[in-house]
Amino acid sequence: MSNLNDNFSSVSREQITEAYLQAFRLIDDRVAPLLGKATTRALVQGAARRVVQNYSFLACLVRMPYTDVIPSKIPEQIGGVTAAELTAGLDALLEECFAGLRELTGDLIAPPLLAEVTDQLRQKQ
């Protein structure tokens, strides 16, 4: 997913955040019937714990579910983070989520869902 970082360079931080939140919602929609609705929220919070040392602005996702994030409030929450840094952090977060999903389900869900999420993010650029 690292090639998505360059493609998001001309959009606002709010648009980037909304695109990734939609990606997490897509994961939620696909995973919930198999593993429960809270699984994606737990995946995102666990992934945020693993990447927060490199992307401190993601600390809010350790404390609250991604479903509580309001894109219009992002500038207040992330201060001086550039769009490129935001994209890199959210991309790392998404990669960690898929690593956790692979731990839970092996290759049953993660590979086709990763392709679907990647396609969705590319369409948002």
* Pick from 21-30, 47-56, 58-67, 74-83: least confident: 74-83
91 or 7, higher pLDDT = 91
pLDDT exceeds 70 at position 6: no
CB 120 within 8 Å of CB 94: no
Contacts of 11 (CB under 8 A, 6+ apart): 19, 83, 125
Distance CA 100, CA 38 (A): 14
CB 28 within 8 Å of CB 40: yes
When pLDDT is averaged across residues 12-36 and rounded to a whole number, the result is 89
CB 83 within 8 Å of CB 9: yes
Tokens of 49: 């714990």
pLDDT exceeds 90 at position 109: no
Helices (DSSP H) in 36-109: which residue ranges? 38-51, 60-63, 74-78, 83-105
Per-residue confidence at 53, pLDDT binned at 50, 70, 90? very high
Task: Say what the pTM is.
Answer: 0.85
Q: What is the pLDDT of residues 55-65, one digit of tens each?
A: 998 988 898 88
